[in-house]
Amino acid sequence: MRKLFFALALSTFATAALAQTAPVSGEVTKINEAQGKITLKHGPIKNLDMDGMTMVFAVTDPAMLKTVKAGDKVSFEADRVNGRLTVTKIEKAK
């Protein structure tokens, strides 16, 4: 039983490690600094198993919202943070 538990734990860890964030291309459509949110039109986000769409995300650091504006093409990373879809990193596309 102990070996089975250990094998399951390793399997879960390996799956979580594979689901790391990866940069996604997008475009800023709206910024709400008061609520710490950004609306992005984006391509597929593989680590979230999400197709391309336009949606609102929270941000981990409200200072991120000052680095971009509506209409900017961006590269960003997103993940679930405390159950919320959240942008963890963003920069203007090069």
Burial class (CB in 10 A: 0-12, 13-18, 19+), 83: exposed
For residue range 38-86, what is the model confidence (pLDDT) as tens digits?
A: 999 999 999 999 999 999 999 999 999 999 999 999 999 999 999 999 9
pTM of the model: 0.79
Domains and CATH numbers, the chain: 22-92 (2.40.50.320)
